[in-house]
Amino acid sequence: MPGSIAAPERGSWVLGDRVTELRVVELGRGPATAWAGRLLGEHGTDVVKIEGPEGDPLRTRGAQVADGSSGYFHALNLGKRGVVAQPGDPLFTRLVATADIVIHDLSPTEAARIGLDAASTEAGEARVVLSITPFGASGPHAGYVAEELTVSNAGGWASLCPTTSRDPERPPLKVFGDQCALMSGVAGAAVALATHREVTHSGIPEFIDLSQQDYVASVLEGAIPGYSYTEQVMLRYHERPLIPWRIFDAKDGAVFMVCVEQDQWERLVELMGHPDWADLPIFETMEGRSENQDLVHTLVQEFVADWETMEFFHAAQARRICCAPVMSLAQLSSDPHIAERGFLRPDEPGGPRFLASAVVGEAGRAPIRRTAPGLARHSAELRDESRTRACQGDAARQLPLAGVRVLDMTWAWAGPFAAMNLAHLGADVVRLESSSRPDLYRRLPFSPVGMEPGLNRSGMFNQWHQGKRSVG
């Protein structure tokens, strides 16, 4: 069939047959809902995108491809079926009524008018309604309209960027693209799927109110415990305590490097051949390097400038120095590692390449099952298609991941944050730690003023390990 690609056998690469039975209906006009829908589709759900006669605004955002829609629209909507329908149309009513998960970015007033607000959801049949809006579905700002620029500033992210300059006259900076929306979409998809697991047990409908402002604020890493534990407000031009911390220019590109701890700095000095300047008293401690960071960066830059990018990257990594190449899109598209893992794939034979699912399971990476839907492409087939919602249970209500045990063996950044979110959803997260080599976050100096630092007193650790148990 045009617009389709052969897929593996049912259940061979998704999260089990139960997921393949789920119908997701997406009523969105922005990247957050579109990305959440695509992620759910990658894991086997049947995603139906409902658009008005004018089409999703994302169809006209950016460079267009063969069918007249933008490449951005295609990237966010792979794997979905699409219909044109409006509230009041029989097709619209039936699709929403029989969905297992509904995703929308409607204002509270719009959502209430068509029965997709919290009150209507909780009074209705068992299903999940995921609302992703700039400021949430309640509160004085709930009805505000906002784009990515507003959310980035409202969530506090822009106030921390670019952090590469100490000039207070430089304005806050929004990072490239729709990162706030895409992060919210990732979180929304995960929570919706976990919540549906609970709905199948309890038979009780659930309304998920995801505020992009809240979610962006929740990922500001050190800025959160820095304020709550030490009353310091981190700014885009604050003095960095961890030096070097910069993008350095190599012969053929650039590398990012940071020395988080003293032993990493010592290994960098070893890599540099132990230059005489490294023995100067001003460079002996983290405090000294922070006070003289311009000089440190100048001297390290002189060393990095003589290296090829990947050569330096591998040499630094071999010595356990935090370092990564700064990749351009052209370099990513030709990178042999990405090619071998099949991360860039065409949406159909001979078609343009898109980023495939980021998840690789036992059976490999989930395929791109369909091209992004043309406007109203699947209206006829869905008008004639009947379905009933997946079977619901009647067990007592509980948190979505109650009864699930997670073993957290991760350190900084991604792993602790992922496990914390699983704990928030009800999982029993057990952290496996080493008493001889404590977690980096436990050792960072985020203790309240006047309190002696300790392994159980670092705000950095306490912030990102909420709800977990620990064994060592």
369 and 439 belong to one structural domain: no
Residue 7 lies in a domain: no
Q: In the prediction, which pLDDT does 361 show?
A: 82
Can you tell me the distance from the alpha carbon of 463 to that of 453, in angstroms, rounded to the nearest whole number? 15
Confidence of residue 321 (pLDDT cuts 50, 70, 90): very high
Among the listed ranges 38-52, 93-107, 334-348, which one has the minimum average pLDDT value?
A: 334-348
CA distance 222 to 258: 15
Higher pLDDT, 39 or 237: 39
Burial classification of residue 186, based on how many CB atoms lie within 10 Å of its CB (0-12 exposed, 13-18 middle, 19 or more buried)? middle
Is the same domain home to 375 and 295? Answer: no
Are 196 and 318 in the same domain? no
357 and 320 in one domain? no
Residues 415 and 347 in one domain: no
Separation CA 185–CA 274 (nearest Å): 47
Domain membership flag for residue 171: yes
Instruction: State residue 72's pLDDT score.
Output: 95
Kindly state whether residues 295 and 377 are assigned to the same domain.
no
Sheet of strand 254-258, all strands in order from the earlier edge strand to the far edge: 245-249, 254-258, 322-325
Please enumerate in sequence order all residues whose Cβ is within 8 A of that of 224, keeping only pairs 6 or more positions apart, or say none: 217, 218, 459, 463
Least confident of 158-172, 294-308, 400-414: 158-172
Assess if residue 249 is contained within a domain. no
> Nearest CA to 199 among 46, 398, 37, 23?
398
How many helices (H) and strands (E) are present in the chain, helices listed first? 20, 16
What does the angle CA 190 – CA 196 – CA 198 come to, to the nearest 5 degrees? 110
In degrees to the nearest 10, what's the CA dihedral of 138, 139, 143, 149?
-110
- 320 and 197 within one domain: no
For 408-434, how does the pLDDT look when each residue is reduced to its tens digit (9 = 90+)? 999 888 999 999 999 999 999 999 998
Bridge partners (DSSP) listed for residue 247 = 256
Q: Which residue has the tokens 């059976």?
A: 363
Same domain as 35, residue 122: yes
The residue to which tokens 């997921």 are assigned: 19
If asked whether residues 130 and 198 sit together in one domain, one would say yes
Q: What is the DSSP letter of 438?
A: -
CA dist 295 and 292 (Å) reads: 6
Are 128 and 205 contained in the same domain?
Answer: yes
Answer whether residue 398 is part of any domain: no
> Is 326:254 a contact under the CB 8 Å cutoff?
yes
What integer is the mean pLDDT of 106-113?
97
Residue 247 lies in a domain: no
**Containing structural domain, residue 425:** 405-471
Evaluate whether 25 touches 50 at the Cβ level (below 8 Å).
yes
104 lies in a domain?
Answer: yes
In contact, 444 and 461? CB cutoff 8 Å: yes
Averaged pLDDT for residues 113-142: 96
Res 145: pLDDT = 95
Task: Report the predicted TM-score, pTM, of the whole model to 2 decimal places.
Answer: 0.90
| More confident call, 248 vs 453 | 248
Give the confidence band of 8 by pLDDT, cuts at 50, 70, 90: very low
Name the pLDDT band for 18 (thresholds 50, 70, 90). low
CATH code for the domain in which residue 73 is found: 3.40.50.10540
Shared domain for 360 and 437, answered yes or no, is no
Q: Please tell me the predicted confidence (pLDDT) of residue 390.
A: 66
Q: Which of 420, 432, 433, 430 is nearest to 466 (CA)?
A: 420
- Give yes or no for a cis peptide into 244 (omega within 30° of 0): yes
Cβ atoms within 10 Å, residue 262:
12
d(CA 290, CA 295) in angstroms, rounded, equals 10
Could you tell me if residue 246 is inside a domain? Answer: no
Decide if pLDDT at 346 tops 70: yes
* CATH at 307: 3.30.1540.10
One DSSP character per residue, 220-259 reads -TTHHHHHHHH-----TTPPPSSSSEEEEE-SSSEEEEE-
Two tokens at 297?
A: 């960066």
Same domain membership, residue 366 and residue 261: no
pLDDT per residue as tens digits for the range 173-225:
999 999 999 999 999 999 999 999 999 999 999 999 999 999 999 999 888 88
Taken in order 316, 322, 326, 332, the sign of the CA dihedral is positive
| Total domains, the chain | 3
Amino acid symbol at 345: R
Does any domain span residue 306? yes
